[in-house]
Structure 1
Amino acid sequence: MHAHVLGFPRMGANRELKWALEQFWRGEIGETELVATADGLRDRHWAIQADAGLDLVPVGDFSLYDHVLDTVAMLGAVPPRFGWSGGEIDLTTYFNMARGNAEKGIPAMEMTKWFDTNYHYIVPELAPDTTFAKTGSRLFDAVESARKLGHSPKPVLVGPITFLMLAKETGGCNRWAHLDGLVEAYCRIIAELDGTCTWIQLDEPILCTDLSEEAKRAFGAAYSRLRAAAVSSRLLLATYFGTLGDNLDLALSLPVNGMHVDLVRGPGQLGEILDKLPSHLTLSLGLVDGRNVWKTELETALRKVNAACQRTKPAQIMIGSSCSLLHSPMDVEGETALDPELKQWMAFAVQKCAEIAVLKQASSTGDKPDLFIENKASLLARGAHRDVRDARVRERAVAVTPDMYDRASPFAERAAVQRGLLDLPLFPTTTIGSYPQTAEIRKQRLQFKKGEMSEADYVKAMQGHIAEVVARQEALGLDVLVHGEPERNDMVEYFGQQLNGFCFTQNGWVQSYGSRCVKPPIIYGDVSRPEKMTVDWALYAQSLTDKPMKGMLTGPVTILCWSFVRNDLSRDIVCRQIALAMRDEVLDLESAGIKIIQIDEAALREGMPIRKADQATYLRWAVDCFRLTAAGVRDETQIHSHMCYSEFNAIMGAIAEMDADVISIEASRSNMELLDAFNQYDYPAEIGPGVYDIHSPRVPDEEEIYSLLHKALAVIPAERLWVNPDCGLKTRAWPETIASLGNMVRAAERLRRERA
């Protein structure tokens, strides 16, 4: 029996990789130092897993930016605009693909969410002339490094069908026309790995989604060839993020040596799998949750291991994480400030490795180590904790009535009232919320957090930053302003810190994209709002200008999706609790005189189940929670919402049902391809498709933005088109921010002159 994980966090316990990457991008360190830092982290992470008692260490899961981008580089599938001429992909080309090249005006590749997670991957591009070939040696060198360190390496590859299905077709390309060439490149990679490792892991989470007949045929064709390329090594087909469902027979028919299944997201599938499991196939049980922070119920997990062992040979069983631990924080032992009572309920990546190892030990020997006793005590303590259940919160959620989901008047009537009150020009310009968070801002927040700055001095300092942001926006000529959010560390954590039912970590960082990490709050109890959260900041900002100032909130679905959520209560109930808390804040902002309130739901699409059969139920309660948050306001209060970096075309109906007055939505990286959805769906409200990509330092010129707005006008009526970036500006520097926004305002003014 083998114990393993599907992947491990990359950033390091103290985000060492983040700091090294950002130093490299600023030119403060060279490639040699960056690679040395990365290799040192990777080696340290292998040692953590081996020391915990895992038999295999994943190789190839570690990345300088993104594992899908690594696959693009390994396959030589570099889009022509990056000027690659063959050979090993250098770091300049690699990071240009991820981040664009500001000096040369080369846009980055698109970025979107990895299935239903908050991790962003770089989207491969397929053109009719795209070719594939085994390129470079990084993966093979890493396998050799692991072997020299005494580990048993398990190379991890994004599976070829998942790669193809997540790629973007360009220039009239048909993705399936590339199947033969792609599989041939994979065969060469596997042939070179063959014999250097016992197992090769091929990640095919796409098997947990609804597949077309063409995709199903492609699996059979691809894997028969991959199997032939592996003479000595065994192939492990890794599925996760859901159940195999109607793809189970297909997965079991593929000529692989092992199959991994997610028994956290799909606990009920084990029985059917065991009923159909071929005698030759090794079954990897994903029993430890790779996407949440709670300890595994070891007794329950052990029963599943033992049930599997009774149906097949123990040697044909593997025990692992449900998915990669990439989505988990690093080590709970570093959380010295966390309430010890709460801390004992949690397991981060390091602890999850120990859980997997102890499950193997208990199943193999029949003896239960002390960790089982500790685990049971922790679970009992959690269930009995005083803060887990709040009767008033639960009573309020039950008492919600149907009218609380509805605005007083339909959009057309509200829009007329709002236009008269706000008196905005055609193509109103605005930004999404945050402005550059300078070193000074971060230092002052840290000083206040440590008690080194008084509250009065902190408020005065933040007001100074707000005044600067407001003045800059007025100088630029923006029409609807924001306060810039200098007081906010993160759009979810900021609110969680002011809500009951949340707790927080010091170092619970999780990679979101590239060097960007987030520190999700942990929802452990019933959620309520004890007092106002944003009203004073909004009122101060509004006092500085005669222009409308947006109140800025994070929506309930996004707070839910970007937190580690309690697993003892259904997600829809937790979301309704959050919605009621945020509804109180919306009404207080309105009462204070704020005329525009933005409720960001960046994670609406991300939270949607990956199976179509489950999506309608999710969308119903997700949309209802947004409406519950927003619907209590008067007609004259304009409700905005923002969504970013997801595929929205299939859910335009649900977005319309949110009944926001204005939505702003990411569109720039796809060159406004999102607008196809508005061709197919007559969206009734006002729309701000993002006109430039804030995740790249590149400054778009006026002509580029003007051109994108013209594309938007082909499907969005002029009176309903807003002009804005595609996301917040927190991670950008001021010079590029001013330059980009200046070009954006000038492009909008140019359009107004044309229609004067």
Structure 2
Amino acid sequence: MTGPREQFRPEDHDNEHFLLTSVVGSYPKPKWHDRARELFEDPDADFDEHNWEEAKDDAARLITQEHERSGLDTVVDGEMRRNEMVEYFAELIDGYEFNGRVKVWGHNYFDKPSIADEVEYGEEWLVDEYKFTSSVSDRPVKVPITGPYTLARWAFNEAYETTEDAAYALADLVNEEIERLVDAGCKYVQIDEPALAQYEDDHAIVGECLERIADGLPEDVRLGLHVCYGDYSRIYPEMLEYPVHEYDLELANGDYEQLDVFKNDEFTKDFAMGVVDAHVAEVESVEEIKDNIKKGLEVVPPEQLTVSPDCGIKLLPREVAYGKMENMVQAAREIEQELDEGEIDVVGGQTASAD
């Protein structure tokens, strides 16, 4: 499953080599977006649903254009319409209930839901989001969607005998949503499964979920899997059997300590490697990011490498988030040029300077 990657190469791309540049998904919301939500939730404020929808549209348009300005090959709206990666979908899926907020880390809280009844597909989740983003951008739009395993794992399960059963039921709903996205024109979907590398021996469950998700999708639809916060040795190389084209992995935050995990067995799919740290509020230099990209070339050849942040960057200051993206794209373009000029040799999966 090599993946329809070249469709995302811009027609005016200057270099012979092409490193696909993308983002994981979330992006800092403008301060006025949060103020608009507060007004919408205030029963005494003169700020109705129409005003709230307009504010979300404005934020989505602004962040999509910010992604374009940074030079990214594929754009996302920064998830301006979403609150949290599980909450958002649990509110849309019939069968979930909410019980109150639980502390996740620091001062961050998560409204952890319960699966109180068998899950069912109700209203569409992301189709309107995709259509709007596509309408305000000429670039390919990637749609991130929280995966069924994480939707099951990060909720209290009161309706199914096992987490596995809940995940499979949710996978069927994700498949239905992606089919609707594809009908709307979407060519790039990323399944977010941050829970995958946190648990032992569950990679087979995720594999079955992905089989259900990928069932019936056209060959030109690119399917990615984002994994973070865990021990990749628990799932590699078994995860290469998943029916996805691309693996988007957090590695910069751990200073690439886990990079060797992927060298013992050939990485046969596309490798979307985190080259900027989503947890550090400082913009990495172009040279530092170039060094990180070269680490990815130790694992896969250029035609299999995607350049991305570690994770969603919504918790960073907005100017830092933009600076990371801009430098990341510039670093990728410079690496492409150096590859074109033979300054970087890629031999047997290993990268070295021609000097």
Q: TM-score, normalised by structure 1?
A: 0.43
Partners in 1 of 2:298 and 2:267 — Cα distance?
Answer: 14
Match of 1:481 in 2: 75
Residue of 574, 593, 603 corresponding to 2:185? 593
Alpha carbons of structure 1 residues 731 and 711: separation in structure 2 relative to 1, 3 Å: same
- 1:42-74 per-residue CA deviation (whole Å, 9 max, x = no partner) reads xxxxxxxxxxxxxxxxxxxxxxxxxxxxxxxxx
1:433, distance to aligned residue in structure 2 (A): 0.5
Equivalent-residue separation in structure 1 for 2:309 and 2:270 (angstroms): 15
Aligned-partner Cα distance in 1 for 2:31–2:69 = 23
SS of equivalent to 2:263 = helix
2:20, 2:307 within 8 Å by CA — same for their partners in 1?
yes
Match of 2:25 in 1: 433
Whether the aligned pair in 2 keeps the contact of 1:435 and 1:485 (CA below 8 Å) is: yes
- Partner of residue 668, structure 1: 252
1:583 corresponds to which letter in structure 2? N
SS state of the match for residue 131, structure 2? helix
How is 1:410-489 mapped onto 2 (pairs within 5 angstroms)? 411-412=1-2, 415=3, 418-423=4-9, 426-450=18-42, 453-489=47-83
Q: CA deviation at 1:674?
A: 2.3
Moved over 6 A (4+): none
Distance 1:530 1:626, change over 3 A: same
Give matches, 1:219-368, under 5 Å: none
Per the alignment, residue 535 of structure 1 pairs with 127
RMSD: 1.7
Which residue matches 2:204?
Answer: 620
Give CA-to-partner distance per residue, 1:498-550, whole Å, 9 cap, x none: 00111124x42222x33333222221111111121110111110111121001
What is the Cα deviation at residue 688 of structure 1? 1.2
Q: Aligned ranges for residues 103-252 of structure 1 at < 5 Å?
A: none
Deviation for aligned residue 1:436:
0.0
Q: Does 1:574 align with 2:166?
A: yes
Q: Whole-Å Cα distance in 2 between the matches of residues 742 and 492 of structure 1?
A: 29
Task: In structure 2, list runs of 5 or more residues that go unmatched.
Answer: 341-355
TM-score (norm 2): 0.89
Shift of 1:754: 0.9
2:102 is equivalent to residue 509 of structure 1: yes
Query: Which has the larger share of strand?
Result: 2
Count of aligned positions: 332
| Most deviating of 623-632 and 700-709 | 623-632
SS at match of 1:527: strand
Q: Which residue of 2 aligns with 1:491?
A: 85
Give structure 1 stretches of 5+ with no counterpart.
1-410, 610-614
- Equivalent position SS for 1:531: coil
Which whole-Å deviations, capped at 9, do the CAs of 1:651-682 have from their partners, x for residues lacking one? Answer: 11332122211111000022222221221121
User: What are the Cα deviations for residues 261-305 of structure 1, in whole angstroms up to 9, with x where unaligned?
Assistant: xxxxxxxxxxxxxxxxxxxxxxxxxxxxxxxxxxxxxxxxxxxxx
User: Where does residue 721 of structure 1 map in the other structure?
Assistant: 305
| Kept in 1: contact 2:9–2:73 (CA 8 A) | no
Q: Which residue of 2 aligns with 1:652?
A: 236
1:633 and 1:713, CA in 2 relative to 1: closer, same or farther beyond 3 A? same
Report the 3-state secondary structure (helix = DSSP H, G, I; strand = E; otherwise coil) of the residue aligned with 2:157: coil
Identity within the alignment, %: 28
Structure 2 distance, partners of 1:480, 1:571, is: 34
AA of the residue aligned to 1:569:
E
Residue 642 of structure 1 aligns to which amino acid in structure 2? H
Evaluate the alpha carbon distance shift between residue 450 and residue 538 of structure 1 in structure 2; reply closer, same or farther with a 3 A threshold. Answer: farther
Q: Which residue of 2 aligns with 1:695?
A: 279
Q: 1:387-441 deviations in whole A, cap 9, x for unaligned?
A: xxxxxxxxxxxxxxxxxxxxxxxx13xx3xx235333561111111011023322
Q: Which has the higher helix share?
A: 1
Q: Secondary structure at the match of 1:755?
A: helix
Is the CA contact (8 Å cut-off) linking 2:117 and 2:159 kept in structure 1? no
CA contact (8 A) 1:445 1:487 kept: no
Deviation at 1:572, TM superposition (A): 0.9
Equivalent position of 1:124 in the other structure: none
TM alignment of 1:370-381, pairs within 5 A: none
CA contact (8 A) 1:678 1:716 kept: no
- Aligned equivalents of 2:112, 2:54: Cα separation in 1: 28
Tell me which structure has the larger Cα radius of gyration. 1
